Structure 1
Amino acid sequence: MTVSSKIQILRTVQQVRQWRHQTLINNQSVGFVPTMGALHQGHCSLVAESIKENDKTIVSIFVNPSQFAPHEDLNNYPRTLDRDLEILSTEFRNKPVDAVFVPKMSEMYPNGIVLEVEKQRGTFVTVHGSSEQLEGVTRPQFFRGVATVVTKLLNIVQPTRVYFGQKDAQQCVVIRNLVKDLMIPTEVRVMPTLRESNGLAMSSRNEYLSKEMKDKSSIIYRALRKGEELFNKETKLHHKKSVESKLIISEIADLIQQDPDFEIEYIAVSHPETLEDLGEVKPGLGAVVSCAVKAPKENSNELTRLIDNIILN
C-alpha cells in the first residue's frame, strides 16, 4: 500500500499539537472528522464536506474502548487501518486530507482503560439529560465513553469545525450539548445520513452482515419512511395540528415485524433538541424518529445492532 506523501500520519498528541500550531500561525481553518475506522462512503462524505469548508482537514482513527461494555464487541470491531489510509489517500485527489491522527491507547488513556466502569481510573465526561434514553437504555456507558473521547479529541485538535453524521442522531445531540456546556470553541456540523442504494444507512457494522441480510435490512429505512408518510398525510393532507407518537411507532413496527429475522430493540419519537419522549408530534417543532433493530450476523448465531432515524418537520 502506498499512502500519499501529502497525508501526514500523526501518532502522538504532541505531533497533532505541533501540526495545529502551524495552521494557527498560517491563520488556517481546520476541519476534523473523528472516526473509529472501517471507513465507508458515509465517512467520506463528512471528509469531503470538511475539505470544502476548511483550509485543512484532519481525520482521526481510534477504536474507543470506553464506549464498549464488557459484553460488547470491542475485540471484534472491524480494524482496517491500511485500507482506511488507502481510501483517504485516493478518494480525495483534488484536495487531499492533510493529516490522519492514529493514536495508541496510551496516548488517549494515560491511566490505562478497562471496560468495567467501576474499575476505571481517570477523568470521564457525562452529558446528563441526553445520554440516558434511547441508546443509553441498553448501553448505559456508551455516551459516557463517546463524550469522554470526543472531549479529548477536541482538546487535542482544537478544530474550527467537527463533522458527524445524522445517522447517529443521539450522539449528535450529546455532542452539541457537550460543546455548548463546556464552552469548546468548535462548530459542530451534522451532515445528512448517507445510504446504500437500497436505503440502508451506511455503517461500519454493516460489515457484519451478509449481502442477503444487507438487502433485507433495507426494511428499517422503509419502515421509518412509512412513519414519515403517516405524519405528512395527517398534517398536510388532513390538516391535523398534531399526530400521536404511538401511531407513528405502530406504523414503523408493523412493517419491521413482518420479517422474523429482525428484533426491534426500540422505536422512539423524541424532541429534536432534548430527546425527551413526545406524546405527539406537531409540525414546526417536529421530532427525531429513531430505532435500533437487531439483525443476524453472517456465519454467526449472534446479532448486530443497526440504528437509523429520520427527522419529522
Structure 2
Amino acid sequence: MSVPALKQRLPRRRWSITTGSARAIVPSRSGLPSCTSPSILRRNDADRPSHSGSGRLSETEQWELDVADSSKPPTKGARTRATILRHAAESFRRDGYDDTTVASIAQKIGISEGTVFQHFGSKSGLLGAVMDEFYAELHATALDIAGSPGDAEQRFRNLIDAWALRAERDWDLIRVFTQRARYGTDPELDARWKEHNRRYTRLHFDLIEQLQAQGVLKDQVPPALIRDIVFGAIEHIALGQDLSPHMEIREKANQVVDVLVAHHAGQPPIDGRLERIERKLDAALGHGDGSVKVMPEGRTGDGSAAERA
C-alpha cells in the first residue's frame, strides 16, 4: 500500500504554528499527544512487513502506523509510564539533569523508585525516553508542515518557525538534552540524540534542495551547510538569551531565513525589470516641455547627457 493510500485510512492530523504541537485526532487517556504514545518507544518492528517494498518500513510509514496503533486504550503500565515521563520532563526542565532525582519524581507521583527503574532502567534512560517523546511530537509537527499546501519557501519558513517556537518554550529542556548527549557519559543517549536530530532535520534538508532547484536559495552552497547555518544561528540566538525569562527567537529566526533568500528577493523577474526600465524611459522622454530627444551615444537633443534607465 502506498503512503498516500495509507494516510487516507488513518485519522487526519492537524498542526498549529501558534502552539508548535501536533495532535492526532485520536482519543488519548494518557494526557499526551496520541502520536507520542509510549508504545512507539518500545516497539520492535524488525519483523513488521514493509509497504515500501524493502525489508523495513520507511520512516513515514512507520510513523503513520504508530499513530494508528496509538488509538488503542493504554494499559495501566502505559499510563504509569506516561505519568512518569510527564513529571520527569517537568523536573528536568525546572531543575536540570544533575539536580533531578529518580526518588523525587517517584515521591511526587506516589510510586516506588523501583517502578521508575523498571520502566526506564536508569536516570539517563529516563531522560532518553523524555527526549524520545519530545522529538516524536516535534517530528509529527514537521511532517504535517512539510506535507501541507503552499510553496516550498513558505513551508520552509513554517518549519523554522515551529522549531524556533519550541526553542522559546522548551529551551531549558532542549539544553538538558544537548548537554547530556554532547558532554555526558552515556553513548546510547548521544546516539539517540543524533538520530533524532538527523531524522528531524532531514525534512528541512529536502525543502532546501527544492528551494535551490527553484533558485530561491543559492545552489552553489551545499544543502547541509544551509541547514547547519539555520540551526546553528538559532542555537546561538537561544544561548545569547539563556538567562532571559522571556526568550524571543522566532523573529530573529525569520530574519536568518530572510538573509538566505535575500539574493532571490533582490532579483525580480526579467519582465519586472524591463517594465521598470520602460517606465523610466517614458518619464525621461516626457520630461519638461517634451523637447527632450534621445540621441546617439547617450546624448539628448540639447547636448546634455541622457539619464540612464
More strand by share: 1
Q: Same fold (TM over 0.5)?
A: no
TM-score, with normalisation over the residues of structure 2?
Answer: 0.24
TM-score, with normalisation over the residues of structure 1?
Answer: 0.24
More helix by share: 2
* Bigger Rg, which one: 2
Higher relative contact order (CA 8 A, sep 6+): 1
